[in-house]
Amino acid sequence: MDSVDLEVLKSSARWLDEGHRALLVTVVKTWGSSPRPEGAMLAVRDDGLVVGSVSGGCIEDDLIDRVRRQGIEQTHPEAVKYGITAEEAHRFGLPCGGTIQLVLEPLDQQSGIAELCHAVEEGRLVARTLDMTTGAVRYSAAQATDGVDFNDRRLLTIHGPRYRMLVIGAGQLSRYLCNIAVGLDYQVTVCDPREEYTDEWNVPGTKIVRTMPDDTVLEMKLDERCAVIALTHDPKLDDLALMEALKTPAFYVGALGSRRNNAARRERLKEFDLTETELARLHGPVGIYIGSRTPPEIAVSILAEVTAAKNGVSLPTLLQVEGAKAAREIAANGATVCGLPAEFGERHA
């Protein structure tokens, strides 16, 4: 879960301890365009104070007005929809006529919010099952691949630690990439045993370690909520990280380099007893093709690909660096690639 949603849970637990009533609002389904994804949360205190968001602001305003006028009198969860008609979509600021379904859950000490916050802070991944009829809550272990599931009778939500990112190398590109990754709410660790790079590292919100990359990968116990990006251009460092990271369930493992260097890297990694399946998981050359040349542009390219992988989006070959550059070279010679005109090579140079 991201830090915003964790703050929603922490605030809810604190309000309950202070004697307030609170309403937990969760996005459970969306149709069309929606400002916030399924699982996003908002908490409304009995005096109208809010934490979190479920839309661009208009739905929040409606919920606040409802609580201020009616209080939090309900004792059981209820599901509501916003944006069913074009007029409602316009009123509540839903883009393109989108529709959003929310579950409104009145909280009390039996909701177990404080216990849930404690579990998340300990690094555990937890499934929370809410009975829509009785309001009873049950907690159990979850898998990182689980998601929000709502069927009118019960609501299942997944809560766990933030996504983690391990960056190998503390160079200039890493600084730009880590600044953006922190903004994307990753818990960022930078690994580089070279003192000439780490002594001047000062990116807020990141952790710097000076251990060897393979040891760092093993120590972090990477799971499905982790990404690993090797950026040193030094095989002695990048390969050490990759040979261990590719054996883990990390959702993304990538390395910077040219197409030629990437091919050589794959050949070297074969010497580490990696299977073809494990090698196939390597993203390289890392990033999507946007014609990036400067370190900030390359950082955007890399994190765009990471974001696609995190969200389960499969990118077409022509968006990947290797495929796009190969297509550009062919197109520059006057051929047509996958329906692209010859001038593709000029427009995307």
What Rg, from alpha-carbon coordinates, does the chain have? 23
Phi then psi for residue 340, to 5 deg, are: -85, 140
- Residue 339, helix vs strand vs coil: coil
User: In this model, does residue 334 exceed pLDDT 70?
Assistant: no
For the structural domain made of 164-315, what CATH number should be given? 3.40.50.720
User: In this model, does residue 2 exceed pLDDT 70?
Assistant: no
pLDDT tens track for 98-149: 788 999 999 999 999 999 999 988 878 899 999 999 999 999 988 766 778 9
Of 201, 198, 197, 229, give the one whose Cα is nearest residue 298: 229
Q: Is 185 left (phi over 0), alpha (psi -120 to 50) or beta?
A: left
Phi then psi for residue 163, to 5 deg, are: -65, 140
Of 12, 134, 21, give the one whose Cα is nearest residue 76: 134
pLDDT tens track for 262-281: 899 999 999 888 899 999 99
User: In this model, does residue 169 exceed pLDDT 60?
Assistant: yes
pLDDT tens track for 195-254: 999 998 999 999 999 999 999 999 999 988 899 999 998 999 999 999 999 999 999 999
The per-residue pLDDT for 312 is: 87
The per-residue pLDDT for 323 is: 67
- Residue 124, helix vs strand vs coil: coil
Pairing of strands 187-191, 164-168: parallel
The per-residue pLDDT for 161 is: 79
pLDDT tens track for 34-64: 667 888 999 999 999 999 988 867 889 999 9
User: In this model, does residue 96 exceed pLDDT 60?
Assistant: no
Alpha helices in the chain (DSSP H): 3-17, 58-70, 86-91, 113-121, 172-183, 195-198, 213-220, 235-245, 259-270, 276-280, 295-310, 321-332, 344-347
**Residues of each domain in the chain carrying CATH 3.40.50.720:** 164-315
For 165, other C-beta atoms within 10 Å of its C-beta total 25
Q: What is the mean pLDDT of the chain?
A: 87
Q: How confident is the model at residue 89 (pLDDT cuts 50, 70, 90)?
A: low
Is the Cβ–Cβ distance between 79 and 85 less than 8 Å?
Answer: no
Half-sphere exposure of 140 (CA within 13 A, CB side): 8
User: In this model, does residue 79 exceed pLDDT 90?
Assistant: yes
The per-residue pLDDT for 326 is: 67
Greater pLDDT, 201 or 348: 201
Map tokens 């939090």 to a residue: 72
Distance CA 186, CA 183 (A): 7
The per-residue pLDDT for 336 is: 52
Could you give the C-alpha distances from 19 to 49, 140, 240, 335, 349, in angstroms and in order? 14, 27, 53, 71, 62
The per-residue pLDDT for 258 is: 87
Q: Report the pLDDT averaged over residues 144-156.
A: 86
Q: How confident is the model at residue 347 (pLDDT cuts 50, 70, 90)?
A: very low
